[in-house]
Structure 1
Amino acid sequence: MENRLAVMAIIVEDANAVEKVNKHLHDYREYIIGRMGIPYKQRAISMISVAMDAPLDEINALSGKLGKIEGVTAKATISKL
């Protein structure tokens, strides 16, 4: 399957979910180009952006797994290329 470029936005509202989020990101590390995490202490949340080069199924799988974690929202924007 052909790889696509994507940027995934992840918002972590529950600090107890961070370990699960990091585990999933580690599981998909072969597809991750880079990531940037921003802890926003005033609102007690973390925002993470992840750049990926992966098959569409893998991008959607990661987004779905992250979205199932309590206190986590994940959305992917995928290139048409």
Structure 2
Amino acid sequence: MEKRIAILGIIIEDTEVVSKVNELLHRQREYIIGRMGMPYKEKNISVISIVMDAPNDVISALSGKLGMLEGVSAKAVYSKK
């Protein structure tokens, strides 16, 4: 299956679900190239950027599972190649 490079943007507005987010990311660790997380204390949110090299269905499934968590927004941006 063909792999693509993607950036997965995640915004966490409910700190109660952080462990669930980390669990989902851990399950896909073989596809994760890098991760950067930034707490934004003034707004009480966390912003995470994940760079992945994975099949399209893996990226979209992860984005969908994250987005279904209460208090979490996720969006994937794909490379054109």
Question: Which of the five TM-score ranges fits, normalised by the shorter chain?
Answer: over 0.9
Q: Which amino acid aligns with 1:40?
A: Y
Map of 1:43-54 to 2, 5 A cutoff? 43-54=43-54
Determine if the alignment matches structure 1 residue 39 to structure 2 residue 39.
yes
- In the alignment, structure 1 segments of 5+ residues that lack a partner are none
Determine if the alignment matches structure 1 residue 18 to structure 2 residue 18.
yes
TM-score, normalising length from structure 1? Answer: 0.99
Q: Which amino acid aligns with 1:4?
A: R
C-alpha distance in 2 between matches for 1:51 and 1:8: 6
Moved over 3 A (4+): none
Q: Which amino acid aligns with 2:14?
A: D
Matched residue of 1:59: which SS?
Answer: helix
Q: Which amino acid aligns with 2:65?
A: K
Q: Which amino acid aligns with 2:39?
A: P
C-alpha distance in 2 between matches for 1:53 and 1:17: 25
Count of residue pairs brought into register by the alignment: 81
C-alpha distance in 1 between matches for 2:30 and 2:68: 22
Matched residue of 2:80: which SS?
Answer: coil
Aligned to 2:8: 8
TM-score, normalising length from structure 2? Answer: 0.99
